[in-house]
Structure 1
Amino acid sequence: MFGPLTWGWKNFLPSATLLSMRSTSSVANSSLKLINKVAVVTGSTNGIGFSIARRLAQDGAHVIISSRKQQNVDKAVDTLQREGLSVVGTVCHVGKAEDRERLVATALKHCGGVDFLVCTAGVNPFVGSTLGSSEQVWDKILSVNVKAPALLLSQLLPHMENRGQGSVVLVSSVAAYVPHAKLGAYNVSKTALLGLTKTLAVELAPKNIRVNCLVPGFIKTDFSQVLTEDPDFEEYWKKIFGMQRVGKPEECAGLVSFLCSPDASYITGENIVIAGFSPRL
């Protein structure tokens, strides 16, 4: 029914054993703030998503990573397992219903539930103006960047409720506040995520599930290459940077771990910028 899962030797252990492994591993100790929690992270085989998955696992969580290509999932899982971290992986194109179902099933089968959802997956198939975007471009961008996080959360919600509390982190972009002329429809989709965060936070607060949004600035990743190929782009951004450099993926990961932790238990509905400057009051 489901496609192949990426697993190491942990695949042969029952779920209860997997969940208790952290307490006996050399990585584990009682100071890990996410000990034995379960996190689903989309778009997590490279860049910001990979750094987030690594940090959540370092802080004690069992992490289910995913992306569209099997070879990328295999590589990411192998890298993190070699670091002694509790991770599994499966292919998931978040825009496809059957892939979202596989991702949910993977978490439930191997970890028994879900505490955190981090939606990092995003696409930008067109570099150009908003009005120059075709209907197909609009459909793809809005389907993956905006609709998919909401649909995936709706599937995970009952299982998060069963845990008594939860945390959701959507990943937008500073393009929501400072649009780039070459990223028309993408800018719009990332702005929509700010509103989705606010709306979901209100809806899910009575269920003790918090929803916040990471808003990265210009972070050096493969995804941002479309901009870095322009030799004038970095200098343009430095004119508004408070800090005269671009960011690194790992500089986004600590905030997500914090938002999932008990330290952020009274924080919800926030859109938090990590950009080397502040684009709003």
Structure 2
Amino acid sequence: MDLSTLFSLDGKVALVTGASKGIGFSIAEIFAAAGAKVVLCSRKQEAVDEMAAKLRAKGYEAIGISCNVGNIEELPNLVEKTIAACGQLDILVNNAATSPVFGPVHETSSEAFDKIMNVNLKAPFELSKLCWPHLRASSNASVINISSIGGISPEHGLGIYSVSKAALISMTKVLAKEWGEAKIRVNVICPGLIETKFSEPLWSNEKIMKMVMNQLAIKRVGSAQEIGAMALFLASPASSYTTGAVLTADGGFTI
């Protein structure tokens, strides 16, 4: 058996949002190493240009396209530029997310609620719809949504963020059922505590870390590369019979 083809993304085009750092960049880098042409998306053009250049310096195919996914009117341009540059789209990773508040739900403003829902839920919804006709034309289409363990069980201080991530899990299952006939697989990854700048307020807090470690089977913080490896499985032919799956990478936090 040739395992290299089982996990190969040769000839595929992948669009990854929130790809200028952290989990998003790790996914983009692993996809590129597996043979995909990767489109890195984030809010600032200079940021995605810099990270795409780092991938090209390694011999990979990568370009950067700026887009604030929370501004829904920018999404059509993102898809149009991706198709213009690459000619196709096979893999979509909805990774971009925001969590602007930490505290109880009753102290969360309507403005913060709207921002969280726009970026974490509405953007994947609208972007997936825009990508639908291009994914449908692919021979092995895959949509990968990045949720959180908070989407399975609400996280302390992250109530509305957890609500948005729970809804993203539900939306993943809806799309998996509806898009299966079009041969588009849709799955979701729920990371636990991963050492990224996004989660730094958590892993840099000694009190929170003590509480987390007490609940972990694997007594450490996860790495962005570990999420990227799981995403590669979901993007590749290795997961050709997997859709609607909710996969955790959390060190056993949700056991």
Within 5 Å, give how 1:210-229 maps onto structure 2: 210-229=185-204
Structure 1 ranges of 4+ moved more than 6 A: 29-32
AA aligned to 1:196 is M
Alignment of 1:276 with 2:247, yes or no, is no
Q: Distance in 2 between matches of 1:79 and 1:164?
A: 29
Provide closer, same or farther for how the CA distance between residues 134 and 30 of structure 1 changes in structure 2, counting only shifts above 3 A. Answer: closer
- Shift of the alpha carbon at 1:35? 0.3
Alignment of 1:35 with 2:5, yes or no, is no
- Shift of the alpha carbon at 1:178? 3.3
Q: Distance in 2 between matches of 1:97 and 1:123?
A: 15
AA aligned to 1:68 is R
Q: TM-score, normalised by structure 1?
A: 0.86
- Shift of the alpha carbon at 1:104? 0.5
- Shift of the alpha carbon at 1:32? 6.6
RMSD: 1.5
1:259 to 214, 234, 250: 234
Alignment of 1:156 with 2:131, yes or no, is yes
Give the corresponding residue for 2:120.
145
Give the corresponding residue for 2:156.
181
2:177 to 197, 202, 221: 202
- Shift of the alpha carbon at 1:221? 0.3
Q: Contact (CA 8 Å) 1:91, 1:99: kept in 2 or not?
A: no
Q: Distance in 2 between matches of 1:183 and 1:230?
A: 15
Q: Distance in 2 between matches of 1:214 and 1:197?
A: 10
- Shift of the alpha carbon at 1:99? 2.3
Give the corresponding residue for 1:116.
91
- Shift of the alpha carbon at 1:180? 2.2
Provide closer, same or farther for how the CA distance between residues 97 and 179 of structure 1 changes in structure 2, counting only shifts above 3 A. Answer: closer
Identity of aligned residues (%): 38
- Shift of the alpha carbon at 1:260? 1.0
AA aligned to 2:184 is I
AA aligned to 1:265 is S
Q: Deviations over 1:158-192 (max 9, x none)?
A: 11112244100000011122322211111111111
Of 229-238 and 266-275, deviating more is: 229-238
Q: Distance in 2 between matches of 1:58 and 1:221?
A: 21
AA aligned to 1:185 is I
Give the corresponding residue for 1:93.
68
More helix as a share of residues = 2
Give the corresponding residue for 1:67.
42
Structure 1, unpaired ranges of 5+:
1-28
Q: Contact (CA 8 Å) 2:7, 2:237: kept in 1 or not?
A: no
- Shift of the alpha carbon at 1:238? 0.6
2:252 aligned counterpart, secondary structure: coil
2:164 aligned counterpart, secondary structure: helix
Q: How many residues align?
A: 252
1:57 to 22, 32, 50: 32
Q: TM-score, normalised by structure 2?
A: 0.95
Give the corresponding residue for 1:171.
146
Give the corresponding residue for 2:53.
78
- Shift of the alpha carbon at 1:228? 2.6
Give the corresponding residue for 1:22.
none
Provide closer, same or farther for how the CA distance between residues 124 and 31 of structure 1 changes in structure 2, counting only shifts above 3 A. Answer: closer
Q: Distance in 2 between matches of 1:136 and 1:239?
A: 34
Q: Contact (CA 8 Å) 1:57, 1:86: kept in 2 or not?
A: yes
AA aligned to 1:58 is A
Provide closer, same or farther for how the CA distance between residues 232 and 34 of structure 1 changes in structure 2, counting only shifts above 3 A. Answer: same
Q: Distance in 2 between matches of 1:36 and 1:200?
A: 25
- Shift of the alpha carbon at 1:96? 1.6
1:239 aligned counterpart, secondary structure: helix
Of 158-167 and 215-224, deviating more is: 158-167
Q: Contact (CA 8 Å) 2:7, 2:233: kept in 1 or not?
A: no
